[in-house]
A and B are shown apart, each in its own frame.
Chain A
Amino acid sequence: GAVVSQHPSWVICKSGTSVKIECRSLDFQATTMFWYRQFPKQSLMLMATSNEGSKATYEQGVEKDKFLINHASLTLSTLTVTSAHPEDSSFYICSARGSSQRGTQYFGPGTRLTVL
């Protein structure tokens, strides 16, 4: 149980375009979803926390107008990177947490974004 999927697994786009990444909890209802970014050889960096039906809470330094997060249902959250630039190239990982899992976060497989 506790499977989280992400789509796409990798994406290459041109600078200035927008990219949408989907995160789904397949076998549980995710009351909270988290979006992380990880650059090579670096630690996970939490970008934002989203609760179903609420606006996302962004970490300090993360531009909310650039990284749009929607958590429209208990099984789906999306991250849209708007007007992507090469410096946005990174590994984006979502995680999901159910209401009865004592804080356990289950991670999706990640999306590798390359902006040319």
Chain B
Amino acid sequence: QKEVEQNSGPLSVPEGAIASLNCTYSDRGSQSFFWYRQYSGKSPELIMSIYSNGDKEDGRFTAQLNKASQYVSLLIRDSQPSDSATYLCAVNKGGSWGKLQFGAGTQVVVTP
């Protein structure tokens, strides 16, 4: 079992719709959770971080964390073509100098 799992996609979303991305992790001791966006040929860019159970909203993005279910998700509202990218879920178990475990990423394609 991979430590962090994501559906690889592609997830096709009509412009203006909500994109829903899911991520599960295996280590119950995980403490910090992150979503990064990576455009093709570019490095990852931090979108959201979440540490406590519940929802966290930032603009069109909402991260949701459920530690009991070992599940973290990202919602993108009013999806735009510029949101087309690969979204990486990352988990910090604590310790290990803050090493992150990354999922393989979900490719999102927003169609006009």
In the complex, A46→B97 CA distance in Å? 13
Residue in B42, B97, B104, B105 whose CB lies within 8 Å of A32: B97
The residues of A that contact B31 with a CB separation of less than 8 Å are 102-103
| B32 lies within 8 A of chain A by Cβ | yes
Specify which of B51, B94, B98, B102 lies most central, judged by the most chain A CB atoms within 10 Å of its CB: B98
Closest to B99 in A: A49
B44 x A43 contact (CB < 8 A) = no
| A67 lies within 8 A of chain B by Cβ | no
Closest to A2 in B: B46
Within residues 86 to 107 of chain B, which ones have a CB less than 8 A from any CB in chain A?
88, 90, 92, 94, 96-100, 102, 104-105
Specify which of A91, A97, A103 lies most central, judged by the most chain B CB atoms within 10 Å of its CB: A103
| A109 lies within 8 A of chain B by Cβ | yes
Judged by DSSP, the binding face of B is mixed
In the complex, A85→B46 CA distance in Å? 32
B42 x A110 contact (CB < 8 A) = yes
Count, chain A residues at interface, CB 8 A: 21
B94 x A103 contact (CB < 8 A) = yes
Residue in B46, B98, B102 whose CB lies within 8 Å of A43: B102
B99 x A102 contact (CB < 8 A) = no
The residues of B that contact A105 with a CB separation of less than 8 Å are 34, 46, 90, 98, 100
Count, chain B residues at interface, CB 8 A: 24
In the complex, A46→B94 CA distance in Å? 17
The residues of A that contact B98 with a CB separation of less than 8 Å are 32, 97, 103, 105
The residues of A that contact B62 with a CB separation of less than 8 Å are none
Proximity string of chain A (73-116) to chain B, C-beta cutoff 8 Å, 1 when within and 0 when not: 00000000000000000010100010000111111111000000
The residues of A that contact B43 with a CB separation of less than 8 Å are 91, 93, 107-110
B88 x A104 contact (CB < 8 A) = no
The residues of A that contact B42 with a CB separation of less than 8 Å are 109-110
A-B pairs with lowest CB-CB distance, top 8: A103-B92, A110-B43, A103-B32, A103-B98, A107-B43, A32-B97, A93-B43, A97-B98
Could you list 6 A-B pairs, sorted by A, with CB under 8 Å? A32-B97, A34-B99, A43-B104, A103-B31, A105-B46, A107-B36
